[in-house]
Amino acid sequence: MQADAWYCCLFVVVCEVLYWLLQRDNHEEVHMKSGLIQLGCALTLMAVGATTSYAQMTLKDFEQDMETVGSARDHWGTVDIRGFELDGPVTEKDIALFRGQYEEFKDSRPTINKKNRLGVAKEGTRLVIAFAEMYKLTGDPFYIDRMVEYVDSILMHRNDVRKKYLATTGSYEAFWPNFQGADKESDPKDIRVRINAFSSGVVVGRISYAAKLILETESLHDEKVKGGDPFGFGETYLDRANYYLDQVSYVLDSFYMKHWYDAKSGRLVYPKNKALIPEKVHKRAGVAPAWNRYFMMTMGFARAAEALERRGNADDAERIKLYDNVVQVSVDEFFGTMKRKKLANGKKVYWWPYDYYYKPVSHRAEETGHGGLDMNCLYPIYVTGRYGITKEQMEPFVNVVRDVLYDKKSGKFYSSVEGAAGEKAKAKKSILGSGYMRLSVIDPSLTEFILDGWKKDKRITTKGLKTGMYAELLQWKNHLYESGQNAN
């Protein structure tokens, strides 16, 4: 609709300019000017037509667009944490390091989800959470406004809004394609994007979190958004929160429930229509994905349900119930299929596979990197308090980090949750991702344990810590202080 409005404005401008030319006294140029009018109208109407009908996206167009968007500054730099201390409360100096990154990259905005950059690969929507947490820490409305700007940008780059790539369904689907599954093989003259749903779940979850924060902050409700309403999303913060939740619901209902939900099992599964998914996963059609991918999707449902319940609209009741059921099925099966073990020191730990549902690989232990994604997405599901996950159920994950993944002799981490017992086991990972730090909600001292590894890692000490991860670090420093474990 906005594109059509733009071209209508363009048409008016063209007509005004050409009309002005016709009013000039040089009648010898009438025929030339008449031709210009016809040409101008034709070009304008062609442009309008391009927005209202599908123009094939060729392989060359696709690759050029990816190169252009890929070079955009849609993520920030890094923070030097070599002198960072966990003792005491979050300081002005701590906050200034984050704010300094914003000043350097203030013109950047999240754009598209190329290679999962909005979900998990780059800063992307992680900065939405970062702004939210910085607002909680400081109470400074500056961070709410930045959060809103980022969410607005993310929504404007959703595939059905951008209308640039048809999906393999034949429609402009409401999701953020990662483009790794672009169908280049079938017809290089007509690129269709595969309906990869995983990282879009993370995007949905973080937009929901932003909406929930606004809903919880009643002092903001009637206040007009500082940056105005350039996209028609709502003038006040409450308007914006409601719009965000309406859009989140639309994505979950029109995309996930339509293409990924199996009503019989209650699971989210690969579409049974193999034409919609990459050839390499055709054997998994109708089967639930690996745990890290599954939880990326269900995390979105969990945060949406929580935010919708906070909104309190009676019309959302059935939707909330359905979303909760989707999450509950995944949680029950995750914990229900775990192998429980007891170490020599008496601590309880878990062993779980990378992909429980696809039997050819269900024997393979979860990799350490993907395990961090599991924890990254399980954490927001746990803290909602909606799905019956207890602290006792979460504690074995902490023990896995300290007593299975970690090799005290080398000071490094094993590559899977089998630890030293794994095939070709060798402690070679020097650090753990921030997903594991989220287990600090169970054991606050885990923050220091993981931070120590970060400070010893040459990549972090020379290049710095990603800004979104730094904001999470401040969140957990504050958690330590409030729990009385790092107070001075």
**13 in a domain, yes or no?**
yes
**333 in a domain, yes or no?**
no
Whether 447 contacts 480, CB under 8 Å? yes
Span of 59-63, 141-145, 387-391 with lowest mean pLDDT: 59-63
**23 in a domain, yes or no?**
yes
The count of domains in the chain is 1
For the stretch 138-184, pLDDT in tens is 999 999 999 999 999 889 989 899 887 888 888 999 998 876 555 54
Distance in angstroms (rounded) separating the CA atoms of residues 436 and 426: 20
Enclosing domain of residue 12: 1-53
pLDDT at position 331, please? 98
Distance in angstroms (rounded) separating the CA atoms of residues 129 and 140: 15
pLDDT at position 21, please? 43
For the stretch 210-269, pLDDT in tens is 999 999 999 999 999 999 999 999 999 999 999 999 999 999 999 999 999 999 999 999
Residue 350: what are its φ and ψ, rounded to 5°? -115, 150
Which residue, among 109, 200, 113, 116, has the nearest Cα to 152 in the 3D structure? 109
Longest CA–CA separation in the chain, Å: 100
**438 in a domain, yes or no?**
no
Which residue, among 204, 438, 440, has the nearest Cα to 303 in the 3D structure? 204
Residue in this structure with the two tokens 């344990």, named with its chain if needed: 449
Say if residue 485's pLDDT is above 50: yes
Distance in angstroms (rounded) separating the CA atoms of residues 78 and 25: 63
Which residue, among 320, 298, 195, 312, has the nearest Cα to 249 in the 3D structure? 320
- Average pLDDT over every residue of 33-37: 42
3-state secondary structure of 51: helix
For residue 420, give both structure tokens: 């030293």
**30 in a domain, yes or no?**
yes
Q: Average pLDDT of the chain? A: 82
**407 in a domain, yes or no?**
no
For residue 189, give both structure tokens: 């003259």
For the stretch 424-476, pLDDT in tens is 666 677 788 889 999 999 999 999 999 998 888 888 888 888 888 899 899 99
Whether 355 contacts 343, CB under 8 Å? no
For residue 104, give both structure tokens: 């350097």
CB within 8 Å of 428: residues ≥ 6 apart: 412, 413, 414, 415
Which residue, among 487, 479, 485, has the nearest Cα to 137 in the 3D structure? 479
**255 in a domain, yes or no?**
no
pLDDT at position 201, please? 93
CB within 8 Å of 77: residues ≥ 6 apart: 101, 104, 105, 464, 467
**39 in a domain, yes or no?**
yes
For the stretch 194-220, pLDDT in tens is 777 888 999 999 999 999 999 999 999
